[in-house]
């Protein structure tokens, strides 16, 4: 009798255990979860006011961390190890059956992103809210997935530590040459030092070196009335005056404001000074990536692939553009126009604090467009609502190349670049983007 009771108790225990296991709901992770994580990191970068090159580094590393987790389970995508500069193979999962790789990818993304921004508490709060929701569904899967995500994140963070970023934090400030009229000078209203003068020393992701895509030289500096350079200077002045006549309804003004993407715009009114914080150019293209992924109904894996490939092209684009900026060290139109043409003239957009040539926004827009076109096709139309949060209307584009063309010309309309900087920058970025696309082997069936 006792034996039968013992058997009955054992059977009852297993039935209860199996029932409890069945009641543990599966953790479902979708592409929208990843889009939301990217948006969250972007919002923190806006809050922390990261300059465009630094922001591009944060996006690239965070996406790579998620990608490396994702492709361990995927049959469609290959690891970036031994493809991206100095990235060694990441640790493999011990028991794949216990791991939700999508969850682990999000964990890796947030953990790496958290390490690269200032306001860690904002990411931690967001992360913990996700942790609580996941843990309540399936604790065993959550713990195994989280631990694997953190393991990959540590591997990526160890790699990040060798990219020379920390070393550039202690390098000297950029020295302004006030004796040479062609050289960059700090611009109104804050006359800030040139930012990130040593960014060309940051380790690239795919390109061979910062100087691999040196653009053609800008027209030789000259203030002679018939010189090519002076004609470009007058074009900036005249275009600025002309589009302001059209008022706020001007299409050129709309284009300039839409692609401004200045993370810190300082406004001075008498004794009052306040700043407006916005997304960077790279963040705008990450926003476009989200829009396109959603329209394409891209799944979790394809979305991470698109973000990762594009963010690396953008990051290398900034390294290339910054290399040229501090090599050519060209003066901005605003400075020369105020000195030699019209002391009261102001550009439509606030001139950012670094040398003029080439236009970095043009470079990274060209690179991002090539990357996205390689995934979705160039003739992919989309409605760009990235700037709605800043009170700017949606703009429609029939292709990525059209969007990059508009981003480039916006710098001339805004009064912050000469035409050559926008056109040459766009070519520079497209050439770089093609190199990235051709040298990355990320798709299994490619």
Return residue ranges of the chain for CATH 1.10.606.20: 178-439
Sign of CA dihedral 243, 247, 253, 254: negative
The answer, yes or no, to whether residue 3 has pLDDT greater than 50, is no
- Inter-axis angle of helices 251-258 and 400-413, nearest 10: 100
Quick one: pLDDT at residue 4? Answer: 53
Mean pLDDT, range 19-44, rounded to an integer: 85
CATH class of 178-439: mainly alpha
The string of pLDDT tens digits covering residues 349-394 is 999 999 999 999 999 999 999 999 999 999 999 999 999 999 999 9
- Write the secondary structure of 337-383 as one string of H (helix), E (strand) and C (coil): HHHHCCCCCCCCCCCCCCCCCCCHHHHHHHHHHHHHHHHHCCCCCEE
Q: What confidence tier does 10 reach under pLDDT thresholds 50, 70, 90? A: very low
d(CA 219, CA 148): 54
Give the pLDDT of residue 361: 98
DSSP-derived secondary structure for 55-105: HHHHHHHHHHHHHHHHTTT-SSB---TTTSTTPPPPPPPS-GGG--HHHHH
- DSSP E strands in 225-287: the ranges are 264-269, 272-277
The Cα 402–Cα 393 span in angstroms is: 17
What are the CA-CA distances from residue 252 to residues 244, 260, 403 (Å)?
9, 12, 14
The two three-digit tokens of residue 409, written as one number:
């010309």
Per residue in 217-234, pLDDT tens?
999 999 999 999 999 999
Q: What are 304's two structure tokens? A: 């991470």
Report CA-CA distances (Å) from 155 to 88, 90, 152, 269, 386: 9, 6, 5, 49, 32
Question: 346, 329, 339, 336: which is closest to 421 by C-alpha?
Answer: 329
| DSSP 8-state symbol, 51 | -
Helix (H) or strand (E) holding 325: helix 300-328
The sign of the dihedral angle between the CA atoms of 102, 387, 44, 159 is positive
Query: For 102-125, what is the mean pLDDT?
Result: 98
Q: Over the chain, what is the mean pLDDT?
A: 93
pLDDT higher than 70, residue 8: no
Contact between 300 and 102 (Cβ < 8 Å): yes
> What DSSP state is assigned to residue 266?
E
Q: What is the torsion angle, in degrees rounded to the nearest 10, for the CA atoms of residue 16, residue 11, residue 97 and residue 144?
A: 50
Question: DSSP letters along 166-185, please?
Answer: HHHTTSPPPPP-TT-TTB--
pLDDT of residue 2: 47
Are β-strands 264-269 and 382-384 bridged in parallel, bridged antiparallel, or unpaired? Answer: unpaired
pLDDT tens for 222-280 read 999 999 999 999 999 999 999 988 777 799 999 999 999 999 998 777 767 778 999 99
In this predicted model, what pLDDT tens digit does every residue of 149-164 receive, in sequence order?
A: 999 999 999 999 999 9
* Three-class secondary structure of residue 410 per DSSP: helix
- Residue 367 contacts residue 314 (beta carbons within 8 Å): yes
Cα gap 322→160, rounded to integer Å: 20
Rg (CA), the chain: 25
Residue 261, helix vs strand vs coil: coil
The whole-angstrom separation of Cα 216 and Cα 169 is 30
């Amino acid at each position: 009798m006792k034996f039968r009771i013992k058997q009955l108790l054992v059977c009852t225990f297993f039935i209860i255990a199996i029932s409890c296991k069945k009641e543990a709901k599966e953790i479902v992770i979708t592409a929208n979860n990843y889009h939301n994580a990217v948006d969250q990191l972007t919002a923190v970068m806006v809050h922390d006011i990261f300059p465009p090159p630094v922001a591009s580094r944060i996006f690239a590393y965070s996406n790579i961390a998620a990608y490396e987790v994702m492709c361990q389970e995927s049959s469609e995508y290959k690891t970036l190890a031994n493809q991206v500069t100095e990235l060694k193979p990441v640790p493999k999962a011990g028991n794949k059956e216990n791991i939700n790789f999508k969850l682990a990818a999000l964990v890796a993304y947030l953990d790496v992103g958290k390490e690269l921004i200032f306001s860690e508490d904002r990411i931690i709060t967001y992360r913990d809210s996700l942790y609580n929701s996941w843990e309540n569904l399936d604790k065993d899967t959550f713990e195994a997935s989280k631990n694997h995500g953190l393991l990959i994140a540590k591997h990526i963070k160890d790699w990040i530590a060798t990219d020379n970023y920390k070393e550039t934090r202690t390098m000297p400030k950029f020295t302004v040459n006030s004796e040479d009229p062609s050289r960059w000078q700090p611009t109104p209203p804050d006359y800030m030092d040139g930012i990130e003068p040593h960014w060309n020393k940051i380790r690239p992701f795919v390109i061979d070196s910062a100087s691999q895509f040196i653009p053609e030289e800008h027209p030789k500096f000259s203030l002679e009335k018939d010189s090519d350079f002076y004609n470009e200077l007058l074009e900036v002045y005249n275009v600025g005056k002309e589009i302001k006549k059209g008022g706020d309804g001007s299409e050129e003004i709309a284009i300039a404001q839409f692609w401004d993407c200045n993370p810190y715009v300082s406004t001075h009114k008498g004794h009052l000074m306040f700043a407006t914080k916005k997304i960077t150019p790279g963040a705008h293209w990450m926003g476009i990536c989200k829009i396109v992924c959603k329209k394409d109904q891209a799944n979790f894996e394809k979305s991470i692939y698109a973000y990762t490939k594009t963010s690396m092209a953008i990051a290398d684009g900034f390294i290339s553009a910054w290399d040229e900026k501090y090599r050519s060290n060209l003066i901005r139109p605003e400075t020369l126009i105020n000195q030699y043409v019209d002391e009261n003239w102001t550009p439509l957009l606030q001139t950012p604090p670094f040398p003029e040539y080439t236009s970095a926004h043009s470079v990274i827009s060209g690179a991002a467009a090539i990357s996205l076109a390689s995934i979705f096709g160039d003739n992919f139309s989309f409605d760009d609502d990235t700037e709605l949060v800043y009170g700017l209307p949606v703009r429609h584009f029939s292709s990525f190349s059209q969007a990059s063309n508009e981003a480039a010309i916006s710098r001339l309309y805004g009064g912050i670049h000469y035409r050559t900087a926008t056109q040459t920058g766009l070519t520079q970025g497209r050439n770089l983007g093609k190199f990235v696309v051709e040298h990355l082997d990320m798709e299994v069936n490619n």
